[in-house]
Homo-oligomer: A and B are copies of this chain.
Amino acid sequence: MEATLTSKDFASDQDVRWCPGCGDYTILKQVQSVMPDLGIPRENIVFVAGIGCSSRFPYYMNTYGMHTIHGRAPAIATGLKISRPDLSIWMITGDGDALSIGGNHIIHALRRNVDMNILLFNNEIYGLTKGQYSPTSRPGSVTKSTPMGSLDHPFNPLSLALGADAGFVARAMDRDPKHLNQMLLRSAQHEGTSFLEIYQNCVVFNDGTFDLYTDKVSRPGSALYLEHEKPMIFGENRDKGVRLDGLRPEVVTLGDGVSQEDLWIHDEHDAVKAYILSRFFAVGNEDGFPRPFGVLFESKRPAYDKQVAAQMAAAKTRHGAPDLDALLKGNETWTVA
């Protein structure tokens, strides 16, 4: 009967409490609509979130869910998944929750490669606490806590994830639901930790930061949609491309001597190339490079929870049925009459 579930079945009875126009709504919609396609019984799905506007997410999903504490969702999800490998775990977090207070748990989850899907709602601001800058805010951001502009050099979330040996690294945006939907599916399909950064608009405290990529007009020229084994093409008229000469990527215009064959063919499995792509990151694309969306990198590493299960199985076969009395007795005993 699971097959017959619809996205509505995944909406809880709680009213959604985000600001009107918040990017979180469209993400929620896509997540709910992708759920039936997973063919996983609703009761086997758990949404785990930290604290933040985005982290209210679990309340709106008619699955099991945990709204936890700020920054700790990766660790809670890790404990849940290790002890219950049968569950499908979705971790929802924000740029502050994941990369400020939760940075350590995130990089450790990524290196361990626990099988879960991390959706990072990046709005480059602290929403719930009403507008302080976050570790992804652009330098010079004037926010409640930085009246003269922020001085912090922001994280490049995807470079950080790759540096932490993430096995699946992708980017999407709230305003391109179709692509977002595909990315959610890809994240679900990947075994191990999937790290999906989603550009999300905070209409109240950081409205329009991502317009360059989300605006239908500017998007074609500024967003580069990656597809495995396809050349990297973008531009209104799909007349621009990215070429690699040696280590140096460059933007070229198709035609006049440059053909699709000359372009950089995307290879999801090449870690170094993925890293180069993650560095297409200039504010406003000032360096001329488009911002990549899609799967930058995927690799097959054994999932941590599977290894843990395997080790326990091995221990059980080695020791046979557990004998509690033998354990309590130990090696040396004596008897007092």
Residues in A lying within 8 Å of B, measured CB to CB: 101-104, 107-108, 111-113, 135, 148-149, 151-156, 159-165, 244, 246-247, 270-273, 275-276, 279, 301, 304, 307-308, 311, 314-315
Q: A108 contacts which chain B residues (CB < 8 A)?
A: 103, 135
Starting from the known contacts A160-B163, A246-B246, 18 additional A-B residue pairs (CB-CB under 8 Å) come to A103-B107, A103-B108, A111-B154, A111-B155, A112-B153, A148-B314, A148-B315, A149-B311, A153-B304, A156-B163, A159-B162, A159-B163, A159-B165, A244-B246, A246-B247, A247-B247, A272-B276, A275-B275
The listed residue with most B CB atoms (<10 A of its CB), out of A247, A301, A315, is A247
Of B112, B161, B244, B270, which one neighbours A163 at CB under 8 angstroms? B161
Each complex incorporates copies of this chain amounting to 2
Of B151, B154, B272, which one neighbours A247 at CB under 8 angstroms? B272
Cα of A246 to Cα of B279 in the assembled complex, Å: 18
Least CB distance, A308 to chain B, in whole angstroms: 6
14 A-B residue pairs with Cβ-Cβ distance under 8 Å, sorted by A, are: A111-B154, A112-B152, A148-B314, A148-B315, A151-B308, A153-B301, A156-B163, A159-B163, A159-B165, A160-B163, A160-B164, A163-B164, A247-B272, A272-B275
Of B135, B272, B315, which one neighbours A279 at CB under 8 angstroms? B272
Query: Nearest 6 A-B pairs (CB), nearest first?
Result: A163-B163, A104-B104, A103-B104, A151-B307, A160-B163, A159-B163
Cα of A311 to Cα of B276 in the assembled complex, Å: 33
Cα of A148 to Cα of B315 in the assembled complex, Å: 8
Q: A111 contacts which chain B residues (CB < 8 A)?
A: 135, 152-155
Cα of A102 to Cα of B107 in the assembled complex, Å: 12
Of all chain B residues, which has the CB nearest A151?
B307
Least CB distance, A39 to chain B, in whole angstroms: 29
Of all chain B residues, which has the CB nearest A247?
B272
Q: A301 contacts which chain B residues (CB < 8 A)?
A: 153
Of all chain B residues, which has the CB nearest A160?
B163
Q: A276 contacts which chain B residues (CB < 8 A)?
A: 272
B153 and A113 within 8 A (CB): yes
Cα of A279 to Cα of B272 in the assembled complex, Å: 9
